[in-house]
A and B are shown apart, each in its own frame.
Chain A
Amino acid sequence: MSEDKLVAMANQIGRFFVPQRGGDPVSAIADHLQKFWDPRMRAAIVAHLEKGGADLDDPVRQAVRRLKEAEARN
């Protein structure tokens, strides 16, 4: 998967959830990635984070980190 494309897609998701009511966009972004992204896409964005996570918006970066932790637990 093209990392640039995945980063752009993840940031788009972030821009929707950040202004939502509830004050926890990180959980909402992580939940969306978990529910709608195929495991190889999630693995690719996690790998991108492990390489420094260039261009990921901050809440998205946190959400991907949460994904990584969740995958590690499973």
Chain B
Amino acid sequence: MQSQENRSAVQAAAILILLRMCVFFCGDTPFSMAYAKQMLLTAGVQAALILPLLRFRHRLQIPPRMRFGFRLCAAWEAAYLTHCFGQLAAQLNLRYAGALLPLMLLMLLYTVPLHDRASARTASLLLFLAVSGFLLLPVSGIGTAQRILLHTPAPPVSPLREWADACELPFLPLLMQQQTEQDAKRSTAVWAGFRLLFLPALVLFGTMQNGRLLHFQGNPFFLLLARTPLSDAVRTDGFWLLLACGCGALCITFCLQTAKPHLQAKCRTLAAAFLPYFLFLALLWMLQQAKPLTGIVNALFGIMLPWGMILYRCLMKRRDTA
């Protein structure tokens, strides 16, 4: 983890938001009031634990002994996101999805060695596109949304799932260091606003549209798009699919860029990022039960590790003073 102050607030916020958005696009949890409540609750807890970290921004440097662990965590997140995209292809019955895998690998081989700033700039561009799309969504769906559907009875949503979906958590402390204090505050506030206000509101809007269609086996977000009247006129689902794939590619690239060590030899650098990535991907593909592990990884590297480091440094300082 290098502490170079080279990202603007928009770029950092864009990466954080797109990471969460990416998992949201691929999620199969049906939209319901219970889902929105669980999302709000989990995001509230996460924000309460993350926001105070801003005060200790300069103490969040990961010690060299733990950097390897953090790189493994980033590779795990990349594998989890790739697995999610496999699920999205299955949910949408996408043809030729298998042919996309070698293409994606080629693309990653091209994008991962690029400069870190390239992904940050692309992220702000994609975020701008996503915001434009989301502005159109309520306009197109307001006529068909029914408020009473918020009361549709739905099964409870597991909190562990929400933790697993919060893939941006381990990168929050890293991005906090790479910005000026003011920018770090702004980007973290934007992230918190997105998690606490925007996503639950979007789920509630989806509930008012999808309502009783809780047993649909496909993707709930694309079901929502297909049911809004605007989609009939201009086929907006194509735009959203492209955006989802763009977000996915960018976020996997960002995770792998974080996972690669800073070595002289390019091949060794890439191998150090891609080998654990493929191993984790194979594990996730073969062992579906491994998916909830992401929740533990997110909590461990996003919250427990930064707080652990801060507490450890406080204790050491106190001991030295004594």
The answer on A and B forming one complex is no
**B interface residue numbers (CB < 8 A to A):** none
**A interface residue numbers (CB < 8 A to B):** none
